[in-house]
Protein backbone atom coordinates (compact mmCIF):
# COMPACT_ATOMS: atom_id res chain seq x y z
CA UNK A 1 0.00 0.00 0.00
CA UNK A 2 2.80 2.39 0.88
CA UNK A 3 4.56 1.81 -2.43
CA UNK A 4 1.32 2.27 -4.32
CA UNK A 5 0.91 5.64 -2.63
CA UNK A 6 4.47 6.57 -3.57
CA UNK A 7 3.85 5.64 -7.19
CA UNK A 8 0.70 7.79 -7.30
CA UNK A 9 2.59 10.69 -5.73
CA UNK A 10 5.29 10.33 -8.34
CA UNK A 11 2.74 10.48 -11.14
CA UNK A 12 1.38 13.71 -9.69
CA UNK A 13 4.91 15.13 -9.55
CA UNK A 14 5.48 14.03 -13.14
CA UNK A 15 2.38 15.92 -14.24
CA UNK A 16 3.81 18.94 -12.44
CA UNK A 17 6.99 18.63 -14.55
CA UNK A 18 9.20 17.94 -11.53
CA UNK A 19 12.70 17.13 -12.77
CA UNK A 20 13.21 14.27 -10.32
CA UNK A 21 9.80 12.63 -10.78
CA UNK A 22 11.02 9.94 -13.18
CA UNK A 23 13.78 8.94 -10.79
CA UNK A 24 11.24 8.91 -7.99
CA UNK A 25 9.03 6.49 -9.95
CA UNK A 26 11.94 4.11 -10.50
CA UNK A 27 12.81 4.24 -6.80
CA UNK A 28 9.23 3.60 -5.73
CA UNK A 29 8.92 0.62 -8.07
CA UNK A 30 12.17 -0.95 -6.84
CA UNK A 31 11.30 -3.13 -3.85
CA UNK A 32 14.96 -3.55 -2.91
CA UNK A 33 15.12 0.12 -1.84
CA UNK A 34 14.04 0.90 1.75
CA UNK A 35 10.69 2.67 1.96
CA UNK A 36 12.17 5.42 4.16
CA UNK A 37 14.34 6.57 1.26
CA UNK A 38 11.45 6.49 -1.19
CA UNK A 39 9.17 8.43 1.16
CA UNK A 40 11.45 11.49 1.30
CA UNK A 41 9.31 14.65 1.02
CA UNK A 42 11.80 17.00 -0.60
CA UNK A 43 13.23 15.51 -3.76
CA UNK A 44 14.90 18.78 -4.67
CA UNK A 45 16.98 19.13 -1.51
CA UNK A 46 17.85 15.48 -0.96
CA UNK A 47 19.41 13.36 -3.70
CA UNK A 48 17.78 10.06 -2.86
CA UNK A 49 19.44 8.18 -5.70
CA UNK A 50 22.93 9.32 -4.78
CA UNK A 51 22.33 8.51 -1.13
CA UNK A 52 21.09 5.01 -1.88
CA UNK A 53 23.85 4.36 -4.42
CA UNK A 54 26.44 5.42 -1.88
CA UNK A 55 25.05 3.07 0.74
CA UNK A 56 24.87 0.24 -1.81
CA UNK A 57 28.47 0.83 -2.87
CA UNK A 58 29.58 0.81 0.76
CA UNK A 59 27.72 -2.43 1.40
CA UNK A 60 29.24 -3.98 -1.74
CA UNK A 61 32.72 -2.89 -0.69
CA UNK A 62 32.22 -4.43 2.76
CA UNK A 63 30.96 -7.64 1.17
CA UNK A 64 33.99 -7.88 -1.13
CA UNK A 65 36.37 -7.28 1.76
CA UNK A 66 34.67 -9.80 4.06
CA UNK A 67 35.97 -13.33 4.44
CA UNK A 68 34.08 -15.71 2.16
CA UNK A 69 34.62 -19.32 3.32
CA UNK A 70 32.89 -20.89 0.31
CA UNK A 71 35.01 -18.93 -2.16
CA UNK A 72 38.18 -19.76 -0.22
CA UNK A 73 37.49 -23.51 -0.18
CA UNK A 74 36.38 -23.83 -3.80
CA UNK A 75 39.26 -21.61 -4.93
CA UNK A 76 41.75 -24.07 -3.41
CA UNK A 77 40.27 -27.22 -4.95
CA UNK A 78 39.64 -25.91 -8.48
CA UNK A 79 42.00 -25.12 -11.34
CA UNK A 80 43.62 -21.71 -11.85
CA UNK A 81 45.89 -19.83 -14.27
CA UNK A 82 48.54 -19.28 -11.58
CA UNK A 83 49.89 -21.28 -8.66
CA UNK A 84 48.92 -19.31 -5.55
CA UNK A 85 51.46 -19.49 -2.71
CA UNK A 86 50.45 -17.00 0.00
CA UNK A 87 49.17 -13.48 0.71
CA UNK A 88 50.78 -10.66 2.66
CA UNK A 89 49.92 -7.10 3.74
CA UNK A 90 52.16 -4.10 3.06
CA UNK A 91 52.70 -1.10 5.34
CA UNK A 92 49.57 0.60 3.98
CA UNK A 93 47.48 -2.45 4.92
CA UNK A 94 46.87 -3.52 1.33
CA UNK A 95 46.75 -7.23 0.61
CA UNK A 96 49.06 -8.71 -2.03
CA UNK A 97 49.17 -12.22 -3.46
CA UNK A 98 52.31 -14.17 -4.24
CA UNK A 99 51.91 -16.82 -6.92
CA UNK A 100 53.90 -18.76 -9.50
CA UNK A 101 52.86 -17.48 -12.96
CA UNK A 102 51.92 -20.05 -15.58
CA UNK A 103 51.88 -19.78 -19.41
CA UNK A 104 48.69 -18.41 -20.94
CA UNK A 105 48.03 -19.69 -24.48
CA UNK A 106 45.02 -18.18 -26.26
CA UNK A 107 43.72 -18.60 -29.80
CA UNK A 108 41.56 -15.69 -30.93
CA UNK A 109 40.52 -14.81 -34.49
CA UNK A 110 43.07 -17.16 -35.98
CA UNK A 111 46.15 -15.92 -34.13
CA UNK A 112 47.89 -17.16 -30.98
CA UNK A 113 48.67 -14.99 -27.96
CA UNK A 114 51.29 -16.33 -25.57
CA UNK A 115 52.24 -14.63 -22.29
CA UNK A 116 52.53 -15.33 -18.57
CA UNK A 117 49.57 -15.12 -16.21
CA UNK A 118 51.41 -12.49 -14.12
CA UNK A 119 50.35 -9.94 -16.77
CA UNK A 120 46.85 -10.04 -15.28
CA UNK A 121 48.15 -9.06 -11.81
CA UNK A 122 45.84 -11.64 -10.19
CA UNK A 123 42.81 -10.42 -12.12
CA UNK A 124 43.32 -6.69 -11.45
CA UNK A 125 44.59 -5.71 -14.90
CA UNK A 126 43.79 -6.35 -18.57
CA UNK A 127 46.42 -7.39 -21.10
CA UNK A 128 46.27 -7.48 -24.91
CA UNK A 129 42.50 -7.13 -24.83
CA UNK A 130 42.00 -10.01 -22.39
CA UNK A 131 40.78 -10.09 -18.81
CA UNK A 132 40.97 -12.81 -16.17
CA UNK A 133 37.62 -13.13 -14.39
CA UNK A 134 36.07 -15.50 -11.89
CA UNK A 135 37.81 -17.53 -9.24
CA UNK A 136 36.47 -18.94 -6.02
CA UNK A 137 32.83 -19.92 -6.41
CA UNK A 138 32.90 -18.82 -10.06
CA UNK A 139 34.87 -20.58 -12.77
CA UNK A 140 38.10 -18.77 -13.56
CA UNK A 141 38.24 -17.91 -17.25
CA UNK A 142 39.59 -15.36 -19.72
CA UNK A 143 37.29 -13.04 -21.69
CA UNK A 144 37.86 -10.44 -24.42
CA UNK A 145 37.52 -6.73 -23.65
CA UNK A 146 37.65 -3.60 -25.78
CA UNK A 147 40.00 -0.64 -25.44
CA UNK A 148 37.67 0.92 -22.85
CA UNK A 149 37.70 -2.16 -20.65
CA UNK A 150 34.17 -3.25 -21.55
CA UNK A 151 33.55 -6.98 -22.26
CA UNK A 152 33.08 -7.75 -25.95
CA UNK A 153 29.71 -9.28 -26.82
CA UNK A 154 28.81 -11.52 -29.72
CA UNK A 155 25.70 -11.29 -31.89
CA UNK A 156 23.66 -13.21 -29.32
CA UNK A 157 24.71 -10.99 -26.42
CA UNK A 158 27.17 -13.45 -24.90
CA UNK A 159 30.65 -12.51 -23.74
CA UNK A 160 33.35 -13.29 -26.32
CA UNK A 161 35.95 -15.77 -25.04
CA UNK A 162 39.12 -16.94 -26.78
CA UNK A 163 40.03 -20.61 -27.10
CA UNK A 164 42.00 -21.17 -23.91
CA UNK A 165 44.66 -23.91 -24.07
CA UNK A 166 46.76 -22.48 -21.27
CA UNK A 167 48.98 -24.55 -19.00
CA UNK A 168 46.98 -24.07 -15.84
CA UNK A 169 47.67 -25.39 -12.34
CA UNK A 170 46.42 -28.94 -12.94
CA UNK A 171 48.37 -29.57 -16.20
CA UNK A 172 51.48 -28.06 -14.59
CA UNK A 173 51.09 -30.40 -11.61
CA UNK A 174 50.65 -33.38 -13.97
CA UNK A 175 53.93 -32.50 -15.68
CA UNK A 176 55.70 -32.28 -12.31
CA UNK A 177 54.26 -35.62 -11.15
CA UNK A 178 55.15 -37.38 -14.42
CA UNK A 179 58.71 -36.03 -14.20
CA UNK A 180 58.92 -37.21 -10.58
CA UNK A 181 57.68 -40.68 -11.52
CA UNK A 182 60.23 -40.94 -14.34
CA UNK A 183 63.03 -40.02 -11.93
CA UNK A 184 61.86 -42.57 -9.35
CA UNK A 185 61.61 -45.36 -11.91
CA UNK A 186 65.02 -44.54 -13.40
CA UNK A 187 66.62 -44.52 -9.95
CA UNK A 188 65.07 -47.92 -9.21
CA UNK A 189 66.19 -49.24 -12.60
CA UNK A 190 69.79 -48.13 -12.03
CA UNK A 191 69.64 -49.71 -8.59
CA UNK A 192 68.82 -53.07 -10.14
CA UNK A 193 71.72 -52.72 -12.58
CA UNK A 194 74.20 -51.87 -9.83
CA UNK A 195 72.86 -54.45 -7.36
CA UNK A 196 72.10 -57.33 -9.71
CA UNK A 197 70.91 -60.49 -7.91
CA UNK A 198 70.95 -58.64 -4.59
CA UNK A 199 68.20 -57.56 -2.23
CA UNK A 200 66.59 -54.20 -3.10
CA UNK A 201 67.69 -51.17 -1.15
CA UNK A 202 66.33 -47.67 -0.53
CA UNK A 203 63.88 -46.31 -3.09
CA UNK A 204 64.22 -49.55 -5.02
CA UNK A 205 62.47 -51.34 -2.15
CA UNK A 206 59.39 -49.11 -2.31
CA UNK A 207 59.07 -49.41 -6.09
CA UNK A 208 59.44 -53.18 -6.02
CA UNK A 209 56.90 -53.49 -3.21
CA UNK A 210 54.25 -51.58 -5.16
CA UNK A 211 55.00 -53.29 -8.47
CA UNK A 212 54.77 -56.77 -6.97
CA UNK A 213 51.59 -55.84 -5.11
CA UNK A 214 49.85 -54.57 -8.25
CA UNK A 215 50.98 -57.58 -10.29
CA UNK A 216 50.14 -60.33 -7.77
CA UNK A 217 47.13 -58.80 -5.97
CA UNK A 218 45.36 -56.96 -8.79
CA UNK A 219 46.40 -57.87 -12.34
CA UNK A 220 46.87 -61.65 -12.12
CA UNK A 221 43.66 -62.38 -10.17
CA UNK A 222 41.53 -60.07 -12.32
CA UNK A 223 42.94 -60.67 -15.81
CA UNK A 224 44.59 -64.05 -15.53
CA UNK A 225 48.07 -65.38 -16.11
CA UNK A 226 47.65 -65.55 -19.90
CA UNK A 227 47.01 -61.83 -20.45
CA UNK A 228 48.74 -60.47 -17.33
CA UNK A 229 51.98 -59.30 -18.97
CA UNK A 230 50.10 -57.58 -21.81
CA UNK A 231 48.13 -55.18 -19.57
CA UNK A 232 50.50 -54.94 -16.61
CA UNK A 233 52.40 -51.85 -17.90
CA UNK A 234 49.18 -49.84 -18.31
CA UNK A 235 47.78 -50.85 -14.94
CA UNK A 236 51.09 -50.13 -13.18
CA UNK A 237 51.20 -46.69 -14.81
CA UNK A 238 47.60 -46.09 -13.77
CA UNK A 239 48.22 -47.07 -10.15
CA UNK A 240 51.44 -45.09 -9.74
CA UNK A 241 50.01 -41.97 -11.42
CA UNK A 242 46.82 -41.89 -9.33
CA UNK A 243 48.65 -42.74 -6.11
CA UNK A 244 51.27 -40.02 -6.56
CA UNK A 245 48.65 -37.46 -7.65
CA UNK A 246 46.63 -38.20 -4.52
CA UNK A 247 49.68 -37.95 -2.27
CA UNK A 248 50.98 -34.75 -3.87
CA UNK A 249 47.56 -33.18 -3.45
CA UNK A 250 47.82 -33.60 0.32
CA UNK A 251 51.06 -31.59 0.58
CA UNK A 252 49.95 -27.96 1.05
CA UNK A 253 52.87 -26.15 -0.59
CA UNK A 254 54.51 -25.74 -3.99
CA UNK A 255 55.27 -27.76 -6.12
CA UNK A 256 52.59 -29.96 -4.55
CA UNK A 257 49.11 -29.00 -3.41
CA UNK A 258 47.28 -29.22 -6.74
CA UNK A 259 44.03 -31.19 -6.66
CA UNK A 260 44.78 -33.22 -9.81
CA UNK A 261 42.52 -36.22 -9.19
CA UNK A 262 39.87 -33.83 -7.88
CA UNK A 263 39.58 -32.45 -11.41
CA UNK A 264 36.84 -34.31 -13.25
CA UNK A 265 38.57 -33.78 -16.62
CA UNK A 266 41.55 -35.81 -15.37
CA UNK A 267 39.45 -38.65 -13.94
CA UNK A 268 37.30 -38.66 -17.09
CA UNK A 269 40.41 -39.04 -19.26
CA UNK A 270 41.68 -41.97 -17.17
CA UNK A 271 38.24 -43.61 -17.29
CA UNK A 272 38.04 -43.16 -21.07
CA UNK A 273 41.43 -44.82 -21.54
CA UNK A 274 40.21 -47.82 -19.57
CA UNK A 275 36.96 -47.77 -21.57
CA UNK A 276 38.73 -47.90 -24.93
CA UNK A 277 41.25 -50.55 -23.85
CA UNK A 278 38.44 -52.71 -22.48
CA UNK A 279 36.20 -52.57 -25.53
CA UNK A 280 38.96 -52.72 -28.14
CA UNK A 281 40.40 -55.78 -26.40
CA UNK A 282 37.04 -57.51 -26.01
CA UNK A 283 36.86 -60.94 -27.66
CA UNK A 284 33.81 -62.47 -29.32
CA UNK A 285 32.63 -64.04 -26.07
CA UNK A 286 32.57 -60.59 -24.44
CA UNK A 287 30.26 -59.17 -27.12
CA UNK A 288 28.13 -62.33 -27.27
CA UNK A 289 27.52 -62.09 -23.54
CA UNK A 290 26.30 -58.52 -24.02
CA UNK A 291 23.89 -59.09 -26.91
CA UNK A 292 23.00 -62.73 -26.18
CA UNK A 293 23.38 -63.06 -22.44
CA UNK A 294 23.53 -66.73 -21.40
CA UNK A 295 21.01 -68.00 -18.87
CA UNK A 296 18.43 -65.34 -19.75
CA UNK A 297 14.86 -66.47 -20.68
CA UNK A 298 14.12 -66.50 -24.41
CA UNK A 299 11.33 -63.92 -24.17
CA UNK A 300 13.80 -61.40 -22.76
CA UNK A 301 16.00 -61.98 -25.80
CA UNK A 302 13.09 -61.48 -28.22
CA UNK A 303 12.20 -58.31 -26.36
CA UNK A 304 15.77 -56.97 -26.04
CA UNK A 305 15.65 -55.89 -22.42
CA UNK A 306 18.81 -57.56 -21.18
CA UNK A 307 20.96 -56.55 -24.20
CA UNK A 308 19.95 -52.94 -23.60
CA UNK A 309 20.81 -53.25 -19.90
CA UNK A 310 24.18 -54.84 -20.68
CA UNK A 311 24.96 -52.24 -23.34
CA UNK A 312 24.13 -49.41 -20.94
CA UNK A 313 26.45 -51.07 -18.44
CA UNK A 314 29.32 -50.77 -20.92
CA UNK A 315 29.03 -46.96 -20.75
CA UNK A 316 28.20 -46.65 -17.04
CA UNK A 317 31.39 -48.43 -15.97
CA UNK A 318 33.75 -45.57 -16.98
CA UNK A 319 31.29 -43.05 -15.50
CA UNK A 320 31.49 -44.86 -12.17
CA UNK A 321 35.29 -44.84 -12.33
CA UNK A 322 35.33 -41.13 -13.14
CA UNK A 323 32.92 -39.97 -10.44
CA UNK A 324 34.22 -42.21 -7.63
CA UNK A 325 37.79 -40.91 -7.81
CA UNK A 326 36.76 -37.30 -8.40
CA UNK A 327 34.19 -37.20 -5.59
CA UNK A 328 36.30 -38.92 -2.95
CA UNK A 329 39.40 -36.80 -3.44
CA UNK A 330 37.50 -33.52 -3.74
CA UNK A 331 35.41 -34.28 -0.66
CA UNK A 332 38.53 -34.97 1.39
CA UNK A 333 40.12 -31.64 0.46
CA UNK A 334 36.89 -29.76 1.17
CA UNK A 335 36.57 -31.32 4.64
CA UNK A 336 40.15 -30.41 5.56
CA UNK A 337 39.72 -26.85 4.31
CA UNK A 338 36.38 -26.66 6.11
CA UNK A 339 38.10 -27.18 9.47
CA UNK A 340 40.65 -24.50 8.59
CA UNK A 341 38.15 -21.81 7.55
CA UNK A 342 36.03 -22.61 10.62
CA UNK A 343 38.66 -20.78 12.68
CA UNK A 344 38.17 -17.56 10.70
CA UNK A 345 34.38 -17.91 10.61
CA UNK A 346 34.17 -18.09 14.41
CA UNK A 347 36.75 -15.30 14.80
CA UNK A 348 34.65 -12.97 12.64
CA UNK A 349 31.31 -14.04 14.08
CA UNK A 350 32.19 -14.06 17.80
CA UNK A 351 35.69 -12.88 18.69
CA UNK A 352 39.34 -13.59 17.84
CA UNK A 353 39.82 -15.15 21.28
CA UNK A 354 37.10 -17.72 20.68
CA UNK A 355 38.51 -18.32 17.21
CA UNK A 356 41.93 -18.98 18.73
CA UNK A 357 40.37 -21.54 21.07
CA UNK A 358 38.59 -23.16 18.16
CA UNK A 359 41.85 -23.42 16.24
CA UNK A 360 43.08 -26.15 18.58
CA UNK A 361 40.06 -28.36 17.90
CA UNK A 362 40.04 -27.53 14.18
CA UNK A 363 43.74 -28.33 13.87
CA UNK A 364 43.34 -31.70 15.60
CA UNK A 365 40.41 -32.66 13.38
CA UNK A 366 42.28 -31.36 10.31
CA UNK A 367 45.32 -33.52 11.13
CA UNK A 368 43.06 -36.53 11.69
CA UNK A 369 41.33 -36.06 8.32
CA UNK A 370 44.72 -35.54 6.64
CA UNK A 371 45.96 -38.86 8.02
CA UNK A 372 42.74 -40.47 6.87
CA UNK A 373 43.26 -38.92 3.43
CA UNK A 374 46.67 -40.61 3.23
CA UNK A 375 44.86 -43.92 3.52
CA UNK A 376 42.19 -42.78 1.05
CA UNK A 377 44.91 -41.77 -1.44
CA UNK A 378 46.12 -45.37 -1.51
CA UNK A 379 42.64 -46.92 -1.45
CA UNK A 380 41.38 -44.85 -4.38
CA UNK A 381 44.43 -45.74 -6.48
CA UNK A 382 43.90 -49.40 -5.61
CA UNK A 383 40.14 -49.34 -6.35
CA UNK A 384 40.53 -47.52 -9.70
CA UNK A 385 43.27 -49.95 -10.81
CA UNK A 386 41.37 -53.00 -9.55
CA UNK A 387 38.14 -52.05 -11.33
CA UNK A 388 40.04 -51.27 -14.54
CA UNK A 389 41.70 -54.69 -14.33
CA UNK A 390 38.32 -56.29 -13.63
CA UNK A 391 36.71 -54.68 -16.68
CA UNK A 392 39.63 -55.68 -18.92
CA UNK A 393 39.59 -59.21 -17.50
CA UNK A 394 35.87 -59.55 -18.27
CA UNK A 395 36.56 -58.48 -21.86
CA UNK A 396 39.46 -60.89 -22.56
CA UNK A 397 38.54 -63.94 -20.54
CA UNK A 398 37.69 -67.20 -22.29
CA UNK A 399 34.78 -69.49 -21.36
CA UNK A 400 35.79 -72.10 -18.80
CA UNK A 401 34.88 -74.97 -21.16
CA UNK A 402 37.03 -73.56 -24.01
CA UNK A 403 40.57 -74.86 -24.10
Residue 76 maps to a domain? no
Query: Are residues 244 and 305 located together in one domain of the fold?
Result: yes
Measured distance CA(87)–CA(92) in Å, rounded: 14
**Residue 173 contacts residue 255 (beta carbons within 8 Å):** yes
Q: Among 118, 142, 166, where does a domain finish?
A: 166
Enclosing domain of residue 40 = 2-65
The pLDDT of residue 48 = 47
Query: Are residues 296 and 259 located together in one domain of the fold?
Result: yes
pLDDT tens digits, residue range 297-307?
777 666 677 77
Choose among 113, 264, 84: nearest CA to 172: 84
Query: Are residues 95 and 232 located together in one domain of the fold?
Result: no
Query: Are residues 226 and 282 located together in one domain of the fold?
Result: yes
Choose among 122, 85, 74: nearest CA to 253: 85
Query: Are residues 51 and 197 located together in one domain of the fold?
Result: no
Query: Are residues 155 and 282 located together in one domain of the fold?
Result: no
Q: Among 135, 166, 197, where does a domain finish?
A: 166
**Residue 235 contacts residue 389 (beta carbons within 8 Å):** yes
Measured distance CA(206)–CA(186) in Å, rounded: 13
SS (H, E, C) the chain: CHHHHHHHHHHHHHHCCCCCHHHHHHHHHCCCCCHHHHCCCCCCCCCHHHHHHHHHHHHHHHHHHCCCHHHHHHHHHCCCCEEEEEEEECCCCCEEEEEEECEEEEEECCEEEEEEHHHHCCCCCCECCEEEEEECCEEEEEEEECCCCCECECCCCCECCCEECCCCHHHHHHHHHHHHHHHHHHHHHHHHHHCCCCCCCCHHHHHHHHHHHHHHHHHHHHHCHHHHHHHHHHHHHHHHHHHHHHHHHHCCCCCCCCCCCCCHHHHHHHHHHHHHHHHHHCCHHHHHHHHCCCCCCHHHHHCCHHHHHHHHHHHHHHHHHHHHHHHHHHHHHHHHHHHHHHHHHHHHHCCHHHHHHHHHHHHHHHHHHHHHHHHHHHHHHHHHHHHHHHHHHHHHCCCCCCC
pTM score: 0.78
Residue 43 maps to a domain? yes
Residue 71 maps to a domain? no
CA–CA distances in Å: residue 65 to residues 61, 77, 95, 345: 6, 21, 10, 14
**Which residues are bridge partners to 84 per DSSP?**
99
Number of domains in the chain: 3
**Residues lower than pLDDT 50 in the chain:** 1-8, 10-22, 24-25, 27-28, 35-36, 38, 41-46, 48-49, 52, 56-63, 402-403
Query: Are residues 98 and 126 located together in one domain of the fold?
Result: yes
Query: Are residues 255 and 317 located together in one domain of the fold?
Result: yes
Q: How long, in residues, is the chain?
A: 403
Residue 390 maps to a domain? yes
Instruction: Name 21's Cβ contacts closer than 8 Å, sequence gap at least 6.
Output: 10, 11, 13, 14, 43
Query: Are residues 334 and 268 located together in one domain of the fold?
Result: yes
**Which residues are bridge partners to 159 per DSSP?**
153
The pLDDT of residue 5 = 44
Residue 142 maps to a domain? yes
Residue 178 maps to a domain? yes
Residue 72 maps to a domain? no
pLDDT tens digits, residue range 61-113?
444 556 787 787 888 888 888 888 887 777 887 777 888 899 999 999 889 99
Q: Among 166, 187, 204, where does a domain finish?
A: 166
Query: Are residues 52 and 127 located together in one domain of the fold?
Result: no
The pLDDT of residue 389 = 94
The pLDDT of residue 54 = 52
Query: Are residues 151 and 228 located together in one domain of the fold?
Result: no
The pLDDT of residue 51 = 52
The pLDDT of residue 164 = 92
Residue 75 maps to a domain? no
Query: Are residues 196 and 137 located together in one domain of the fold?
Result: no
Amino acid sequence: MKRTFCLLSALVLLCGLNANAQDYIELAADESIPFELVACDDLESVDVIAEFDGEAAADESETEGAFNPGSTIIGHVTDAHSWHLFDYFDKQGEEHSVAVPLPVILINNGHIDLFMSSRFHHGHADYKGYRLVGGGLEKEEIICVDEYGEPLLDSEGGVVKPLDISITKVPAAIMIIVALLIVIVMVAKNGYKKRENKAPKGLQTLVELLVVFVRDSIVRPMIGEKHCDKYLPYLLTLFFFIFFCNCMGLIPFFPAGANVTGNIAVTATLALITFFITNLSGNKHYWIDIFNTPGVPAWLKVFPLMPVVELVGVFTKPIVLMIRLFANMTAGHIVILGFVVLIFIISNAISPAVGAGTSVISTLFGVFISLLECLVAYIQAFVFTMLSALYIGMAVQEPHHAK
